[in-house]
Amino acid sequence: MRNAIVGGLIVLVVALLVWSGMHNLRTRRAQEAKARDQQMTIAVDKKGATATTSAEGETIADLRGKPAAVFTLTSNTGKRVSLNDYNGKPVLLNFWATWCTPCKVEMPWFQDFQKKYAAQGLQVIGINEDDDAQSTEVKDQIKKTLERTGVDYTILMSDKAVGDAYGGLDVLPATFFIDRSGKIVAQAIGLASKDEAERNVQKITAGS
Amino acid sequence: MRRRVAQVLTGVVLAVAATRVWSGVPAMARAFTHAEGEGAAAAVQGGHVGFIAEGQSIAADKAATVNLHFRVDPGFHINSHTPKSDMLIPTRLVVAMVAGDPEVTAVDFPVGTPFAFAFEPKQKLDVYQGDVVLTAHVKAAAGQHSLKAELHYQACDQAACYPPKTLAIEQPFTAK
């Protein structure tokens, strides 16, 4: 009888420990999965968009289907340029900065698109988001970046308000594909593949 | 016999309870427990980088070091203090020199880790990931002190980068 009770207790102990261990493992896995989700910066939600959620869980505005916010900014060569200057043309609008390595990867692609889809009227516009862009140091870095990436499309200097108008950008690169009617057809927050970017260009240049 | 059964049952309940309580402690708090006895640990979090203020003790009136423990969020990196490109923003620490506070004579940065974006494998960067411990050289009189500083850094993940940030920190330490 005594042995049976002790044996039963041992079985109970082992069972409780196994249950506890399994429960802990399940909980830990669930927490890890949640953490992974929160760390995910780039998450494709539907075709045409690259990202919707930043690491802090902030939702990045989905501007697809909305009219592109009109702006007037100064170019790196001192010219005033408005989005309205490109009325009726498809526009690839790319926000970038010199400290953003992924931005510098895709800028040569956009240069290629500018040439490849010139007949369809494509206009590529880059908006530089560096702080203190008027300082000699940053101006030099911008110049160097444009030389290294081979970019000669229009580069405008941000007034910060333009970033707010495009969803309060806190992550770069950010690219908006605007069709001839001035509507945002696709957006990419973070680096997408060149193929995906080109598919979006084809969407806005279609019908030429 | 009954006493023995009760002892065994009590042991089981305590063991299971301890396991359950431990499993409920968040990972960050668990990491702090080794600092107990030297002062409470506190953490501040900036954009993708946190600072863990672990209590520390140093010898009074002698050259000593105080560790500054930062943690970069998993999946992210920040440039090291010597990124391999003049176009990237290096990590810097600006120490607040307040009258009456101990003098910080130097800060050592750890060596960075080589890193390349999957989409640009040829470009090797020098970054910090995970735990990053800077070493501040100080000399302090006996008593409680606090090292105040700002970490300037710029973070990226695998496909995007975030604007440069500043994280204000305060590291308490005791000189004995």
The predicted model gives B86-109 an average pLDDT of 89
Task: Write down the pTM of the prediction.
Answer: 0.71
pLDDT at B25 (0 to 100): 28
Q: Are the CB atoms for A131 and B164 separated by under 8 Å? A: yes
Nearest neighbour of A39 by CB, restricted to B11, B75, B154: B75
The domain segmentation of chain B, as residue ranges, is 1-27, 36-175
Residue-wise pLDDT tens digits, B48-74: 999 999 889 999 999 999 999 999 999
Q: Please state which CATH number belongs to domain A72-205.
A: 3.40.30.10
- B125–A101 C-beta distance less than 8 A: yes
Instruction: Work out the pLDDT band at B6, boundaries 50, 70, 90.
Output: very low
CATH 3.30.70 fits B36-175, yes or no: no
The predicted model gives B114-132 an average pLDDT of 90
| Strand B103-108 relative to strand B42-45, pairing | unpaired
Chain B hits for A103, Cβ within 8 Å = 161
Q: What is the DSSP letter of B139?
A: E
| Percent of chain B's residues with pLDDT above 70 | 75
- Tell me the residues of chain B between 94 and 113 that have a Cβ less than 8 Å away from chain A: none
Q: Is B47 on the interface with A (CB under 8 A)?
A: yes
Per-residue exposure over B54-91, b if at least 16 CB sit within 10 Å of its own CB, e if not: bbbebebeeebbbebbbbbbebbbbbbbebebebbbbb
Query: Which residue is closest to A21 within chain B, CA to CA?
Result: B19
Q: Where does residue B52 fall: left (phi above 0), alpha (psi -120 to 50 degrees), or beta otherwise?
A: beta
SS3 A9: helix
Q: Which residues of chain A have pLDDT under 50?
A: 31-57
Measured CA to CA, the distance from residue B176 to residue B159 in angstroms comes to 47
The domain segmentation of chain A, as residue ranges, is 1-39, 72-205
Q: Are the CB atoms for B66 and B56 separated by under 8 Å? A: yes
Instruction: Work out the pLDDT band at B5, boundaries 50, 70, 90.
Output: very low
